[in-house]
Structures are given as C-alpha cells and as structure tokens.
C-alpha cells in the first residue's frame, strides 16, 4: 500500500476545500442495487413522497396542496387570479405582465444543488415547483436519491411539468438555476425529453428594481421578512443544502434532508407571494414616491414613455425630497420623445435648485440651445451655469470642449 | 560621418586586437537553401489559391510532411521547427483542409501564452479571409468578451486558448461546448518544449482530462505539435499526450549565413579570475551596433538586467536616435504593444529591443540583424532559439554570446566545441507526480464521474479514487465515483505556480490606493519577501513593510536604496523512503522521498556597486515543510577516513557548487527548481551526503532524471572544473565560499574522479 502511504504523507499539500472534517460515520457501504429496496421508504411516505421509476432508476416525488385562500405572508395565494385580471386590463407593456397566459401556465421554480459555483460537476438534487390548478395550489418536488438517478429525475420532471414549464418564475433563475438545469440535462439528453424554450420572470431582477435602495440586501429571506411579511420558523438556511445532501447520501435517511425540502417548498410559495406583491405595486404605481420613481424608470426601460411620465409626475407631486431627481428624469423622458420644449421648464427648475442634477440639467439646456434653438450664446450661458454648479471633475473636459466649440460658433473665423 | 554596415562592423571585430583577445571563438554557419515540394493534389483548391495569393507557390518539405501525415493519414505529428520557419502552416493546413471538407469540423489550439494565441489568430484569419470562406477562428481567454463567448462555444471552428483556460474555464463547463467536443478533429499544441517541469506535469494531466471529455462526446482528435529544437520532441509529445507520434525533423526552411561569436569579457582581477561584468560589455557592444543603425536585439536572463540595460542604452542613444528607438520587452505585453514594436522595426523607428527570455517563445516581432546574449541563456535549446531572432529572411546575421563569470558560462565559452556539438537538452516532465495527479483526478471527476475499471489515460487510479472517497470529496455509488463536494476544484489548482498558496504583493506607496502588483510562491517568498527585503519589480525598488504570513500578503512601498537583500535559508532534510539504491565501494547513490524543512534565518544587505555586506537583520518566519523527491550521493566511513574528514567537506561543498550549475542544464530546469544541499552529517545516515531535490511538493521528475543521468552530469562537472583557468577554485567553478580553502578545487576533482571511475568499473563488470 505504498501509494496510500504517500497520499497520506502528502495530505497537507492537497486541500479539498471542505473545511469541516466529516464526522466519524464509519460505514459508508451502499446497497448495490438501490431500486430493489428503497431505504427508509416509510419515512419518505410520511413526508408525502413516492418513488417514480425509470428503467433501473428512481426519483422521489413529493406533493403538497394548498387552498387558494392560504396566506403565505400577507398575501392570499389565490389573489394571483385577480392580479392576472388586472394585468389584462393594463395596456402598457411590462416585464411582469403575463400577456395572455393564465396562472395555471406558470411554474414557480427553485432548485437545490451540491455547490454554488456552477460547472459540470455541480449537481441539482432537488427540482421544486409550485403551480396552480383552478381550485388549488400544488407544490411538486422531485428529489434525486443518488447521483446515478439523474435520467429519472429529469424524465419525470420534464414529462409531468410539461403544462407549466414553459413559463418559469424564479429567483435568480436566469443566471443560476436554469443554466445549471441545462448543464445537467446535457448529461442525460439522450434519455429524457428536450428542454423547452421558455418564458421567464426572474423575480430577483424585479425585486432589485423596487427594493435595492430600501433593503440591506435583496436575498429572498430579507425580501420575505421586510416586504412579504413571511417569518420562517426553524428554517434550514440555503447554504447548508450541499452539506446536508452529502450527509444524506452517506446515511440515506431522509430526515437529514427534510429541512432542505421544506425550505425549498417555502421558497417556491414565496415566489407566488412575491409575484403578487410586485405586480400589485407596479399596477398601483408604487407605495412611496421613491418606489413610484423606480417603477417609472422600469417603464422607461421598456419604452412605455407615457407610463414613465405618469410615474415621475406622481412622484413629484407626492414628495418634495427628491424633486430634482424626478424632474430631471421627467425632462429626459420628454426629450427622448422629442418634446424638448416641454422638458425645458423642468430642467430650468432643477438648475435653479442648484443641488443634485443641476449641472447635468445645465448641460442638457446648453445642448438644447445649441442644437435646436441654434443659439450659441445662450448655450454658452448654460455651460457657464453648469461650471458654476458642477462638483465632478469628469464634467470639466466635456465643458471645455463644448465651450470651445460654442466660442467658435459665436465668433466665426477666430 | 558615414554609417558602417554589419559587414564592416564584423570586419572591425575580427581585426581589432583588443576584440581579438576577447573573442574566444568565431563560428560561422553556412546558409541553407530552401527545400520544397509542390502542393499535393489533394489540397483543397480554395486553400491553394489563398496560399498562392500570399506568394506561396510550394510548401517547405516539413509543411508538406505534416499535411500528409496529420492531414491525409490522420496521425499525430510533432514538428521540430526553428524560429521563423513557417511552422504555422504545419497545423493550419491540415486543420483548414478538414474544415473545408466538413464544415462541422472543429479544432482546438493550445498556446502557452495569451499573446501567442492572439498572434496566431490574426495569421489564421488573414488566410481565411483570402479564401473568402465562412470559417470562424477565435481566441478564448480571460480577456474574451462575455458577449461573444457563447458564439465561440457554439460556432467557433478553431478555438485558440491556453492550458490554464482549458483547465479552469472550458473543461469544467464542457456541457456548454458540446458542438466543439462532438466534432473535435484536431488538437494543436504549439511550442510543446515549454511544457516541462511543473507546468508540463499539469498540462499533461489537463490533456488527459481533455481526451476523456472528447471520448465522452465521441470524438478522437489528432494531435499536431510543434517544438523548438530539443533532444526529445517525440518523447515529450508522447509523454504529454499519452499518444504515439510521428516525428517531423527535416526542416525545409532556408537560412542565411550566421556568425556565432563567443565573447569573454576581459579579466580584471587575475588572482580571483574575476572578469568584467557581462552587462557592461553588452552595453558597449549594443551601443556600437545601434549607433551604426544596425538593428539589434539584446537578451538578458532577468527582468532586472533588462531594465538596467534598457535604461543605459536609452540614455546612450537618446540624442542620436530618440528614446523610443530602444524598446523593452518583458513578457505579458499586449498584442497592440508588440505590433508597435514590430512596426517600428520595419519602419526603422525602433532600432533595438531588450528582452527577457519571454521573447524566446515564438512571439513574432520580426527579425533583427544582431542578437546579443547577456550570459549563457541556460540551455542549448534556448540559446538557439534566441539566436534565431537574428537573421532577416536569408540575410547574414551576427550572434554574440557575452559570458558571465558563472561556471557554466565560462565552461561554455571556453569549450565552444562542446556547446556547438552538444545535442540540445531533453525536456522532462512527470505527469504522474502524485499531488498534481490527484489534483487533476479531482477536476476530472468533477467533469465526469469515474466508472469502475476506468483508468486516467492508462494510469490506474483506483487507490486515488478510494482515497478521495475517504476524504469525502468523491462519493462511490453503484459502479461509479461521483463528485460530491461544494468546491469547484479547478479554481484551487494553478498550472504555473510551484505551490498552491501564493503570496500576493501589494504596493501601498500611495495611501488609499493600494494595488496588487504581483504574486510569488510561498517557498520563494520566505527569502524574497520577508520584512525589510528589497524587492525589484519592473526595475523599481520596493521595500517590504510587512509580510503577513497568515494572510499571504506582502505589503511593499517604493524606495530608492543603494543595496539589495540576500536571505539565508537553513535547510533540514530527512529521508523518508529509499526507492532505489546502488552501492559502490566508496559511495552510495540513491533516490527516494524526502522531507525538507526550511527556515529563513537572516538577511544581508549587499551594496550594489561593490557587493559589500553593509548590514543584516533577522527574519521571523515559521518553518516551511516540503515533501518531495530527491537523489543523493553519500559516503561511508571508509571513504571519510581515506579522504580525510576536512578534505571531504571541502570536496563536498565544491562538488555541490558545481552540481548546482550542471544538473539543471541536464534536466532542463531553472536553477531554483532543483536544490543542491551538501551535508557532512545527513540526518538519516549520519554520513556525508549531497542531496539534490525537486523544489515542488511530490517532485516533478527532476531529481529522478538526475539520478538516471548521473554519469553525464559527473562528466560535465569534471570538464567544467578542469577547464576553468583559475588555480585554486573561483566563483566560476567550485565557488569561493568562505569555508573553502585553496585545496578545494583539486579535492572536488578528486572526489568526482572516484565517483566516475567506480561507476565505470561497475558498468563493466
């Protein structure tokens, strides 16, 4: 056993990352043929899970149901139907708009994985989804009992969730969960149905838009507590998910992983509440002037100018505090619609205030005077004004160039 | 005043009496006409037309051979190609031909550096443009824009990258590269001679992983490699890839007449045999050429020397030529900067380039007329590579090697025949270094689970898999071993650095805007980045304010001082296991596992101009431990008695000094990769012993190569000592250690004779 010897001797040159030494579990023997006898099947049944087979492999499916009146946090889950109706009456486009879909077409989706870094070796061991039928909310979770059963996992998930998998609502799923699903799917692509093209509501992006400035972080747990009024008790934190799965693999006892499965269930329910919450706030035009302003910017991004203008105007009527920001945003939207003349008074106001955005407004005014009114002298006046209120050095070079050009226009030939 | 041309300057060198004294030997290499063969019938007409458009009407014989063997016959080839001999077509032709035949074909190119990949991409794209075909060739490295990465993965016919990128960004994400791996026809590895030592061991394992993934997706690519002139290109290619190779060593490229001058600076101190410094001689010579507007490239071994020469030359010719006319090249330059140099050389705006060995690596900045080497570059192979920089197309060129006072330099310069006749060195690498192997088995398991009975490209790794399962990194299940760990293993493995945990160097000269300026492996950091050490970076002096050993950070500040620092390393060596051992009448040679404990003790401040010791200070750092391989020579009681204890100690130190220079040459590594330690009382045997150990955990085959090649190494040691003109030992041979007395030189020689003779007798009987 010379090699073993050497391996142990050189141990400290080789770090395997997991900082914690594994507990002394001793026996790690696996059943040679797990599908013949599913370990702890009774416990699984207690947890509302049943095995589903594919050839030699199996996967565990856990199902839960909730009534439409169930409140997850402050929101009634069934109120999604009213939200969809209201979206139906809304004319403007918006990233959260369900456009033609029914609540039954959506899958609120989250995964649990063996690592957080992505890559081919990062395995998904739990695919969790919440979906609507006409009378209930269903949570369906597919659990991977061991790394050899991935074909079964994706086969049953893709076949059974066919009805709603085309429209996912996730939290950071665009960057993490779905690319990881694609990665693992590649390994079993010849044995299971194709991955669908899908529409996607990534609620992390949406939450960031509205809450970035008011919340310390946009982690789902923070949003739940601060916005949705969801308090989790005895929750298993997400970062433990990989470790607990490794423990489960050694021990096979579902008790070890129960907490993660419940955590995932809570996550997908929270996505429903969050979707309802975000939609309502957007439809209402915000609950605070700051939020109204952010919603305006969101509409602006999807070129719904009228909606954006409406939001900015609403914000400036309800709050004095950030007036300059709202006015400036308003002026820029107007300018984008070639309504520069209408933008003029707002820019003037911001400039007069002398505070935030004053210099930027002065530059806008100078541009307006130079290019549209063909009045270089007035333009020069505004560059002077910009210089007077500017605090940033980066603006100086720009102003220098502008002034030089304007001077040339005023006194041609010189 | 009329400028002289190269011919006139050479005439002056030949006839000037003072120069005559310094020129030890003037070697002329005749020109060689091109050897070509016509385009083969099978060559795609589009490709043929594109070549013709570029003025190529025939192929050099080595290009034709590569096209035949790797193209038509689909065999792995390795072509030995000197600088500027059209090696690119050796791989571009078969690759383009295969893509023209089947648009689904893909090829992966590996270059040792990003710069080389960038260079080759432009060349490839010019050829593709001339064909007017929709063939896409991209570089894929750390600078590649995120937006274009997806396009490259899906639609790049030729992907040019480096082993590091393959290791950490491509293979661990192979599911995003399905179309590449499913259609991979060729793997091109350029400059394979650079994959030696630790870097070679890592790369060999990355290639094992690459082959494994290719096989998983059902492709079996052909390898095409190119190498500079080394002794064992085929063996190296086979070691790196684990595949059989066809060797292409008949080169058809033409060559102009070359003059190779062995130049020895004059002796300034007879008794100590001290010569004038090579740097100042190079300065004088380079200035002479540059003032005549003769384009010159100067090579120096270290970055610091480059800076010194550069500054000097720039000042010297500032008035005549302008400061921009001399450019430095320190490696890591962006393609744009290199293009500027290249352009400048073409237009004559740049007259001179001062470079570290970085340029040795096939980066094409154009050819110059004169090449000056500051000291022997350290190996025959790199000497020829650097020499290849001089000689534009088929013009005459001059190469001057200016010797340092070191033993090897003096030996090489005084025995020009030895140098000129010597075969270039072998490049060695050991893919089975246990630590490196285990690291890559982890990465491979992350990429794809191992199944029962599977080897790692022929290496039985069952025990490694079991070990990793016990460590709970892998999870055995059914008949497979699955990656079951949160980590992304490739991030923890660096292909280039000698140890995994590097010390980061942080410049805090400007308060509030501290920035990272470099990193260094832990072992070297002990002696180069200790508190108060003077650290040179890009020619700027920094002093280490604090070395935070736990956090692996060295905080430095810019200073201007007249000295440099030199630290002492106390080494303790224990033999853990003796794998091989041969007993001779008066000594033993052995090879095995050792544990090295090293501790930095004190540092000295040495004045730069006079090398005086002007102060010292303690170093407070913990001891470092290293498990590695070593070979050693040890001497029993009888030899000690016969030789005399004192005399043997002298001989031991002397021989160790010589070995320090000769052994790295033989195994083609840097002097700092192979440590030599003489001990009068080795811990394991209490016998006088000389150890040579690999400075990388687990060893990378250096000391085992020394063990195998001991006969030739000893032979070289003897020649080196005898050819040194000094009488009783000098820094150029056995050293001038304070502990050495006047007998040291002949005592060392006597010891080496004993070693050689007994081995001889042993071999005959």
Same-domain check for residues B26 and B116: no
- pLDDT of residue B145 exceeding 90, the answer is no
CB contact under 8 A, A10 and B482: no
Residue predicted with more confidence, B616 or B368:
B616
Contact at 8 Å (CB) between A338 and A368?
Answer: no
Instruction: Tell me, yes or no, whether A215 and A132 share the same domain.
Output: yes
Q: Find the CATH number of the domain harbouring A327.
A: 1.25.40.10
Check pLDDT > 50 for residue B630. Answer: yes
Contact B485 A114 (CB under 8 A): yes
State the pLDDT confidence band at B280, using cuts at 50, 70 and 90: confident
Report the alpha-carbon distance of residue A61 to residue B152 in Å, rounded: 39
Pair B314, B219 in one domain: no
For residue A183, what pLDDT is reported?
95
Largest CA distance in chain B: 86
Q: Residue B124 gets which letter from DSSP?
A: H
Strand partners, A130: A108, A139
Do A89 and A174 share a domain, yes or no? yes
Is residue A300 located within the same domain as residue A245? Answer: no
Domains in chain A, number: 2
> Cα–Cα distance between A81 and A75 in angstroms, integer?
12
Domain count, chain B: 5
Alpha carbon separation from A65 to A44, A48, A170, B491 (Å, rounded): 17, 11, 20, 42
Residues A83 and A223 in one domain: yes
Q: Return mean pLDDT, chain B.
A: 86
Closest CA of chain B from A243, distance in Å: 8
A chain contacts of residue B475, beta-carbon cutoff 8 Å: 147, 246, 249-250
Report yes or no: B463 at the A interface, CB cutoff 8 Å: yes
Is the CB of B438 inside 8 Å of chain A's CB atoms? yes
| ipTM of this complex prediction, to 2 decimal places | 0.82
Tell me if chain B has a CB within 8 Å of the CB of A116.
yes
pLDDT at residue B594 greater than cutoff 80: yes
Q: How many CB atoms lie within 10 A of CB B625?
A: 13
The predicted structure's pLDDT at residue B108: 98
Rounded alpha-carbon distances, angstroms, from residue A387 to A363, A380, B66, B617:
9, 11, 67, 56
Are residues B25 and B40 located together in one domain of the fold?
A: no
Q: What is the pLDDT of residue A24?
A: 38
- pLDDT at res. A33: 47
**Average pLDDT of the residues in B502-512:** 80
Q: Are residues A317 and A300 in the same domain?
A: yes
- The reply to whether A345 and A375 lie within a common domain is yes
The beta-carbon neighbor of B447 closest among A13, A121, A148 is A121
Q: Output the six-digit token pair for A413.
A: 């030939």
User: Closest approach of chain A CAs to the CA of B706, in angstroms?
Assistant: 22
Distance from C-alpha of B325 to C-alpha of B319, rounded to nearest angstrom? 11
In a domain, B718, yes or no: yes
For A5, A26, B478, B664, B750, the CA distances from A29, given in Å and listed in that order, are 23, 9, 10, 49, 63
Token code pair at residue A161: 């969730």
Say yes or no: A200 and A256 in one domain: yes
Same domain, yes or no: A119 and A266: yes
Residues B535 and B480 in one domain: no
Same domain, A303 and A280: no
CB of B654 closer than 8 Å to CB of B720: no
For residues B541 and B610, membership in a common domain is answered with: no
Q: What residue numbers bound the domain in which A334 lies? A: 289-410
Chain A interface includes B623 (CB < 8 A): no
- B332 belongs to a structural domain: yes
Domain boundary among B180, B213, B248: B248
Query: Alpha-carbon distance B703 to B673, whole Å?
Result: 10
pLDDT score of B393: 65
Please list, in sequence order, all residues whose beta carbon lies within 8 angstroms of the beta carbon of residue B242, skipping any fewer than 6 positions away. Answer: B204, B207, B208, B211, B431, B457, B458
A317 within a domain of the structure (yes/no): yes
Q: Are residues A311 and A245 in the same domain?
A: no
Asked whether B544 and B532 are in contact (CB, 8 A), the reply is: yes
Indicate if B198 and B321 belong to the same structural domain. no
Chain-chain contact of B627 with A10 (C-beta, under 8 angstroms): yes
pLDDT of residue B540: 67
For residues A397 and A387, give the distance between their C-alpha atoms in angstroms, rounded to a whole number.
11
All residues at 6 or more sequence positions from A272 whose CB lies less than 8 Å from its CB, including other chains:
A72, A75, A77, A80, A108, A130, A137
Q: Is A117 part of any domain?
A: yes
Look at residue B70 and tell me if it is in a domain: yes
| Residue-wise pLDDT tens digits, B319-344 | 777 767 888 876 545 556 666 777 78
Question: Residue A23's pLDDT is what?
Answer: 38
**Euclidean distance between the first and the last CA atom of chain A, given in angstroms as a whole number:** 91
Same domain, B293 and B409: yes
Residues A196 and A340 grouped into a single domain: no
Categorize the per-residue pLDDT at A169 as very low, low, confident or very high, splitting at 50, 70 and 90: very high
Find the mean pLDDT for residues B295-315.
81
In a domain, A268, yes or no: yes
| pLDDT of res. A22 | 37
Chain B contacts in chain A segment 384-413 (CB below 8 A): none
Per-residue pLDDT of A223-271, as tens digits, reads 999 999 999 988 998 889 999 999 999 999 999 999 999 999 999 999 9
Which residues 574-613 in chain B show a CB within 8 A of chain A?
A: 576, 593
Bridge-based pairing of strands B553-558 and B563-583 is unpaired
Percentage of residues in chain B with pLDDT exceeding 70?
Answer: 91
Contacts of B101 (CB under 8 A, 6+ apart): B44
Q: Can you tell me the distance from the alpha carbon of A144 to that of A139, in angstroms, rounded to the nearest whole number? A: 17
Residue at A233 is within a domain: yes
CA distance B546 to B601: 16
**Phi and psi dihedrals of B594, rounded to 5?**
-130, 160
Substitution target in B478, B479, B521 with the highest count of A β-carbons within 10 Å is: B478
Predicted pLDDT of residue B566: 81
Are A115 and B488 inside 8 Å of each other by CB? yes
Residue B1 placed within a domain: no
Residue A2 lies in a domain: no
d(CA B581, CA B569): 28
| Whether residue B697 sits in one domain with residue B605 | yes
pLDDT at B119: 78
Q: Answer for the pair B233, B5: CB distance below 8 angstroms, yes or no.
A: no
Residue B498 has pLDDT above 50, yes or no: no
Look at residues B652, B637, B632 and name the one whose alpha carbon lies nearest to residue B582. B632
Task: Dig out the tokens for B674 from the structure.
Answer: 């192979």
Using alpha carbons only, give the angle B125, B128, B133 rounded to the nearest 5 degrees: 135
* Partner residues linked to B544 by β-bridges: B556
- Residue B386 CA: distances (Å) to CA of B208, B355, B400, B422: 32, 10, 11, 17
Q: What is the 3-state secondary structure (H, E, C) of chain A?
A: CHHHHHHHHCHHHCCCCCCCCCCCCCCCCCCCCHHHCCCCHHHHHHCCEEEEEECCEEEEEEEEEEECCCEECCEEHHHHHHHHHHHHHCCCCCCCCCCCCCHHHCEEEEEEECCCCCCCCCCEEEEEEEEECCCEEEEEEEECCCHHHHHHHHHHHHHHCCCCCCEEEECCHHHHHHHHHHHHHHHCCCCCCCCCCCEEEEHHHHHHHHHCCCCCCCCHHHHHHHHHCCCCCCCCCHHHHHHHHHHHHHHCCCHHHHHHHHHHHHHHHHHHHHHHHHHHHHHHCCCCHHHHHHHHHHHHHCCCHHHHHHHHHHHHHHCCCCHHHHHHHHHHHHHHCCCHHHHHHHHHHHHHHCCCCHHHHHHHHHHHHHHHCCCHHHHHHHHHHHHHHCCCCHHHHHHHHHHHHHHHHHCCCC
A22 located within any domain: no
B99 with B166, same domain? yes
Kindly state the percentage of chain B with pLDDT values over 90: 42
Structure tokens at B669: 């590594």
| CATH at residue A133 | 3.30.420
> Average pLDDT of B743-750?
88
* Per-residue confidence (pLDDT) for residue A20, from 0 to 100: 40
Cβ neighbours for B568, distance < 8 A, ≥ 6 positions apart: B527, B600, B601, B602, B603, B604
- Helix, strand, coil shares of chain B as percentages rounded to 5? 40, 25, 35
Domain boundary among A241, A265, A284: A284
Alpha helix (H) residue ranges in B27-109: 45-53, 61-66, 88-101
**Minimum CA–CA partner of A121 in chain B:** B446
Closest Cα in chain B, distance from residue A385 (Å): 33
CB burial of B555-570 (b: ≥16 within 10 Å; e: otherwise) equals: bbbeeeeebbbbbeee
Model pLDDT for residues A127-138, shown as the tens digit of each residue:
999 999 999 999
Span B595-624, pLDDT tens digits: 888 899 999 887 766 667 788 999 999 888
Which tokens go with B468?
A: 């990793």
Pairing of strands B370-374, B296-300: parallel
* A118 is a domain residue: yes
Closest CA to B499 of A13, A191, A47, A63: A13
Q: Which domain holds residue B529?
A: 502-561
Helix (H, G, I), strand (E, B) or coil at B607: strand
Asked whether residue A348 is domain-assigned, the answer is: yes
Eight-class DSSP state of B55: T
C-alpha to C-alpha distance for A112 and A110, rounded to whole angstroms: 7
B21 touches chain A (CB under 8 A): no
Distance of alpha carbon A164 from alpha carbon A201, whole angstroms: 13
pLDDT number for residue A388: 82
B537, B613: one domain: no
C-alpha distance across the termini of chain B, in Å: 71
Closest of B92, B83, B10, B85 to residue B43, by C-alpha: B92
Q: Report the half-sphere exposure of B526 (CA within 13 A, side-chain side).
A: 20
Specify whether B472 is located in the same domain as B336.
no
Q: Residue B440 is inside which H or E element, if any?
A: helix B434-447
Q: Which residues of A touch B478 (CB under 8 A)?
A: 30, 32, 34, 146, 148
Q: Are B310 and B328 in contact (CB under 8 A)?
A: yes
pLDDT in tens, A329-360: 888 888 888 888 888 888 888 888 877 888 88
Q: Whose CA is closest to A341, among A306, A375, A368?
A: A368
Tokens of B764: 């005959």
Task: Map residue B519 onto helix, strand or coil.
Answer: strand
Whether residue B506 is contained in a domain is answered as yes
Looking at the predicted structure, is the pLDDT value of residue B1 above 70? no
Please check the confidence at residue A35 and state whether its pLDDT lies above 70: no
pLDDT tens, position by position, B42-78: 999 999 999 999 899 999 999 999 999 999 999 999 9
List the CATH number of the domain containing B224: 3.40.50.300
Instruction: At B256, list the tokens.
Output: 């102009």
The answer as to whether B638 is a domain residue is yes
Residue B457 has pLDDT above 70, yes or no: yes
Residue B243, in any domain of the structure: yes
A397 contacts: CB under 8 Å, gap ≥ 6: none
CA A49 to CA A60: how far, in whole Å?
Answer: 6
In B428-489, the DSSP E strands lie at 450-451, 474-477, 480-483
Among A239, A268, A284, give the residue marking a domain's end.
Answer: A284
The answer on A196 and A50 residing in a single domain is yes
pLDDT in tens, B525-536: 888 899 999 887
Same domain, yes or no: B636 and B506: no
Write out the two tokens for A381. Answer: 């006046």
Give CA–CA dist B42/B58, Å, rounded.
14
Is residue B693 one of the residues assigned to a domain? yes
Are A15 and B593 in contact (CB < 8 Å)?
A: no
Low-confidence winner among B356-360, B467-471, B473-477 (lowest mean pLDDT): B356-360
Query: What is the pLDDT at residue B412?
Result: 79
For chain A, what is the mean pLDDT?
88
B478–A148: do the CB atoms touch at under 8 Å? yes
Q: Looking at B201, B223, B248, which one is the last position of a domain?
A: B248
Return the closest-CA partner of residue B410 out of B746, B732, B748, B745: B732
């Amino acid at each position: 056993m010379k090699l073993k010897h050497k391996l142990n001797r050189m141990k400290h040159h080789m770090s395997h990352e997991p900082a914690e030494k594994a507990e002394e579990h001793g026996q790690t023997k696996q059943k040679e043929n797990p599908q013949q006898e599913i370990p702890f099947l009774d416990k699984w049944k207690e947890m509302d899970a049943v095995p589903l087979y594919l050839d030699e492999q199996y996967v565990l499916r856990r199902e839960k149901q909730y009534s439409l009146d169930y409140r997850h946090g402050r929101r009634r889950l069934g109120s999604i139907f009213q939200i969809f109706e209201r979206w139906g009456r809304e004319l403007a486009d918006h990233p959260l708009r369900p456009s033609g879909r029914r609540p039954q077409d959506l899958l609120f989706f989250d995964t649990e994985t063996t690592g957080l870094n992505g890559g081919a070796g990062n395995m998904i061991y739990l695919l969790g989804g919440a979906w609507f039928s006409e009378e209930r909310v269903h949570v369906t979770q597919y659990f991977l009992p061991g790394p050899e059963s991935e074909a079964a996992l994706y086969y049953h998930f893709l076949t059974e969730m066919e009805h709603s998998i085309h429209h996912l609502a996730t939290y950071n799923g665009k960057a993490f969960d779905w690319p990881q699903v694609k990665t693992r799917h590649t390994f079993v692509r010849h044995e299971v149905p194709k991955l669908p093209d899908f529409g996607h509501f990534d609620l992390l992006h949406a939450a960031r838009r509205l809450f970035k400035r008011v919340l310390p972080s946009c982690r789902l747990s923070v949003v739940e507590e601060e916005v949705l009024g969801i308090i989790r008790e005895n929750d298993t934190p997400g970062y433990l998910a990989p470790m607990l799965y490794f423990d489960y693999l050694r021990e096979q006892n579902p008790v070890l992983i129960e907490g993660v499965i419940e955590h995932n269930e809570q996550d997908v329910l929270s996505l429903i509440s969050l979707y309802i919450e975000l939609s309502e706030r957007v439809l209402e035009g915000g609950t605070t002037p700051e939020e109204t302003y952010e919603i305006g910017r969101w509409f602006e991004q999807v070129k719904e100018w009228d909606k954006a203008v409406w939001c900015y105007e609403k914000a400036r009527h309800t709050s004095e505090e950030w007036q300059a920001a709202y006015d400036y945003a308003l002026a820029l939207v107007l300018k984008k619609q070639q309504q520069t003349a209408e933008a003029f008074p707002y820019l003037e106001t911001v400039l007069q205030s002398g505070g935030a955005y004053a210099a930027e407004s002065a530059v806008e005014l100078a541009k307006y005077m130079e290019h549209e009114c063909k009045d270089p002298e007035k333009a020069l006046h505004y560059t002077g004004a910009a210089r007077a209120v500017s605090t940033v050095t980066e603006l100086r070079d720009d102003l220098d160039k502008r002034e030089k050009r304007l001077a040339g226009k005023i006194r041609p030939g010189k | 005043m009329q400028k002289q041309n190269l011919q006139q300057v050479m005439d002056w060198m030949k006839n000037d009496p003072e120069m005559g004294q310094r020129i030890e030997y003037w070697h002329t290499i005749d020109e060689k006409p091109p050897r070509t063969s016509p385009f083969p019938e099978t060559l795609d007409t589009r490709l043929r037309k594109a070549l013709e458009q570029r003025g190529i009407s025939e192929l050099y014989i080595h290009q034709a051979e590569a096209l035949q063997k790797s193209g038509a016959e689909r065999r792995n080839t390795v072509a030995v190609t000197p600088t500027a001999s059209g090696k690119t077509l050796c791989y571009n032709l078969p690759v383009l031909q295969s893509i023209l035949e089947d648009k689904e074909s893909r090829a992966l190119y590996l270059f040792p550096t990003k710069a080389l990949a960038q260079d080759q991409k432009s060349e490839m794209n010019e050829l593709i443009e001339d064909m007017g075909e929709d063939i896409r060739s991209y570089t894929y490295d750390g600078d590649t824009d995120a937006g274009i990465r997806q396009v490259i993965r899906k639609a790049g016919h030729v992907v040019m990258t480096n082993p590091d990128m393959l290791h950490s960004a491509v293979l661990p994400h192979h599911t995003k590269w399905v179309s590449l791996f499913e259609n991979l026809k060729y793997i091109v590895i350029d400059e394979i001679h650079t994959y030696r030592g630790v870097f070679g061991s890592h790369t060999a394992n990355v290639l094992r992983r690459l082959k494994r993934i290719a096989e998983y997706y059902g492709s079996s690519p052909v390898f095409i490699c190119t190498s500079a002139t080394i002794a064992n290109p085929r063996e190296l290619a086979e070691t790196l890839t684990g595949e059989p190779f066809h060797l292409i060593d008949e080169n058809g490229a033409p060559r102009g007449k070359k003059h190779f001058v062995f130049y020895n600076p004059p002796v300034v101190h007879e008794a100590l045999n001290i010569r004038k410094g090579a740097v100042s001689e190079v300065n004088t010579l380079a200035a002479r050429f540059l003032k005549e507007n003769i384009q010159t490239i100067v090579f120096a071994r270290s970055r610091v020397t480059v800076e010194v020469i550069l500054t000097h030359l720039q000042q010297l010719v500032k008035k005549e030529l302008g400061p921009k006319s001399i450019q430095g090249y320190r490696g890591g330059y962006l393609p744009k900067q290199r293009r500027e140099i290249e352009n400048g050389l073409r237009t004559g705006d740049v007259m001179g380039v001062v470079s570290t060995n970085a340029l040795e690596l096939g980066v094409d900045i154009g050819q110059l007329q004169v090449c000056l080497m500051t000291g022997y570059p350290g190996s025959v192979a790199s000497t020829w590579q650097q020499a290849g920089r001089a000689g534009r197309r088929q013009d005459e060129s001059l190469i001057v090697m200016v010797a340092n006072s070191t033993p090897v330099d003096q030996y090489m310069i005084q025995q020009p025949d030895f140098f000129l006749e010597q075969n270039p060195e072998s490049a060695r690498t050991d893919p089975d270094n246990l630590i490196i192997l285990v690291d890559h088995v982890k990465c491979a398991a992350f990429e794809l689970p191992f199944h029962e009975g599977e080897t790692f490209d022929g290496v039985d790794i069952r025990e490694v898999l079991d070990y990793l399962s016990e460590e709970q990194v892998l999870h055995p299940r059914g008949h497979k071993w699955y990656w079951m760990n949160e980590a992304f293993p490739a991030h923890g493995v660096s292909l280039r650095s000698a140890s995994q945990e590097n010390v980061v160097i942080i410049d805090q000269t400007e308060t509030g805007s501290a920035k990272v300026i470099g990193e260094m492996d832990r072992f070297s950091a002990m002696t180069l980045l200790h508190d108060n050490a003077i650290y040179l970076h890009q020619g700027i002096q920094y002093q280490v304010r604090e070395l935070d050993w736990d956090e692996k950070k060295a905080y430095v500040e810019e200073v201007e001082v007249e000295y440099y620092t030199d630290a002492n390393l106390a080494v303790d060596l224990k033999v853990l296991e003796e794998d091989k051992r041969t007993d001779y009448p008066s000594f033993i040679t052995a090879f095995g596992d050792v544990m090295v404990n090293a501790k930095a003790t004190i540092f000295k401040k040495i004045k730069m101009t006079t090398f005086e010791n002007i102060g010292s200070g303690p170093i407070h750092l913990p001891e470092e431990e290293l498990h590695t391989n070593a070979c050693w020579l040890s001497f029993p009681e009888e030899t000690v008695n016969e030789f005399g204890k004192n005399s043997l100690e002298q001989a031991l130190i002397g021989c160790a000094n010589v070995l320090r220079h000769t052994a790295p040459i033989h195994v083609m590594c840097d002097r700092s990769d192979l440590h030599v330690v003489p001990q009068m009382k080795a811990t394991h045997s209490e016998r006088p012993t000389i150890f040579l150990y690999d400075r990388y955990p687990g060893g990378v085959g250096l000391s085992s190569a020394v063990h195998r090649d001991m006969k030739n190494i000893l032979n070289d040691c003897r020649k080196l000592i005898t050819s040194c003109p000094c009488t009783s030992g000098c820094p150029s041979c056995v050293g001038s250690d304070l502990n050495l007395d006047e007998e040291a030189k002949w005592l060392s020689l006597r010891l080496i004779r004993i070693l050689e003779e007994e081995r001889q007798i042993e071999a005959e009987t």
